[in-house]
Amino acid sequence: MSATTATARLTTRDIQNLKRRGEKIAMLTAYDYVTAGLLDQAGIEMILVGDSLGNVVLGHETTLPVTLEDMIRHAGAVHRGTRRALIVVDMPFGTASDPETALRNAVAIMQRTGCQAVKIEGGATVAPTVARLTEQGIPVVGHIGLTPQAVHQLGGYYRHGKTAPAAQKLIDAALALQDAGAFAIVLEMVVPELAGEITRLLDIPTIGIGSGPECSGQVLVVNDLIGLNVDRTPSFAKPKADVASVIRRAVGEYVAEVKAAEPAKAKGRALADG
């Protein structure tokens, strides 16, 4: 694409403007070319190449085994499949452990995928890393509340911000991330009232998942939206389709059709003695 080609792709400023106008932001994950293209055609504003690919694509128990190379390969496919959506790439476990490591890895993501932003899990302690990336021109999305990369420390997938000290810590984290330059923050499984309070406190948009309706936008794992799962899904996922059934039925019909096919008739002279 030439430098003068007008691109229809949304920018972080467009996302900021959606919040200012009070228009909700619709975000979904995608991990491949075809799915990303369909989401783009359907008008999704942001696509997250989530490290949830470790669960829903690669079949791991957690997101921890996902590597930078995994993310870069899938993010490239998602970017190639889309024209309009702003693409955010998760920095996988261990790749944003300090500001310089994060910068090196985020630069690799930006240079090798064409995507527009990265997302980093963590609270106030991640703020210096967010500041380092944003001062280098890399847009960053924060991610607080349930942070799945810390599952072994958290001891499970549960709601966050239930006590007053926990709520205050999340508020402080959100403000620290905003001050550090994050252009949006994902709130995952945050008590809905608190998610609303954080959303009203911030200038930048909040993107909720399992955090109630008062966030500036919503994000969901695309498999949970379309009913394409073999494993248990989070309770906040309310599927709008049953693609798993569509696939099972089509495959079942194919299997039956293959099995029922007549053997090819022998042509010309009969074979001697079978």
Compute φ and ψ for 140, nearest 5 degrees. Answer: -125, 135
Q: Cβ(72)–Cβ(109) under 8 Å? A: yes
Among 37, 123, 145, 148, binds ligand MHF (CB under 6 A): 148
CB of 62 to ligand MHF, least distance (A): 8
Q: Residue 186 or 197: which CB sits closer to Mg ion?
A: 186
Q: Residue 146's closest CA among 91, 90, 197, 187?
A: 187
Residue with tokens 């089509």: 250
Stretch of 48-56, 108-116, 189-197, 264-272 contacting ligand KIV, by CB under 6 A: 48-56
Among 30, 40, 47, 55, binds ligand MHF (CB under 6 A): 55
Residues 15-34 that bind ligand KIV (CB under 6 A): 29
* Number of residues this chain uses to bind ligand KIV (CB under 6 A): 11
156 binding ligand MHF? (CB under 6 A): yes
CB of 29 to ligand KIV, least distance (A): 4
Tokens found for residue 229: 């799962």
CB of 63 to ligand MHF, least distance (A): 5
Residues 94-133 that bind ligand MHF (CB under 6 A): none
Q: Residue 141's closest CA among 217, 80, 81, 233?
A: 217
Catalytic residue annotation: 188
CA distance linking residue 86 with residue 54, whole number of Å: 22
DSSP letter assigned to residue 120:
E
153 binding ligand MHF? (CB under 6 A): no
Q: Residue 202 or 222: which CB sits closer to ligand KIV?
A: 222
51 binding ligand KIV? (CB under 6 A): yes
Among 11, 236, 239, 243, binds ligand MHF (CB under 6 A): 236
**Range 147-152, long-range pairs (CB < 8 A, 24+ positions):** 147/121, 147/122, 147/188, 148/51, 148/52, 148/62, 148/63, 148/121, 148/188, 149/51, 149/63, 149/64, 149/92, 149/93, 149/121, 150/121, 151/62, 151/63, 151/64, 152/62, 152/64
* Among ligand MHF, ligand KIV, Mg ion, none, residue 234 binds (CB under 5-8 Å by kind): ligand MHF
157 binding ligand MHF? (CB under 6 A): yes
137 binding ligand MHF? (CB under 6 A): no
CA distance linking residue 37 with residue 130, whole number of Å: 29
DSSP letter assigned to residue 190:
B
Where along the sequence are the contacts to ligand MHF (CB under 6 A)?
A: 52, 55-56, 63, 148, 156-158, 221, 223-224, 233-236
Where along the sequence are the contacts to ligand KIV (CB under 6 A)?
A: 29, 48, 50-52, 90, 186, 188, 209, 219, 221
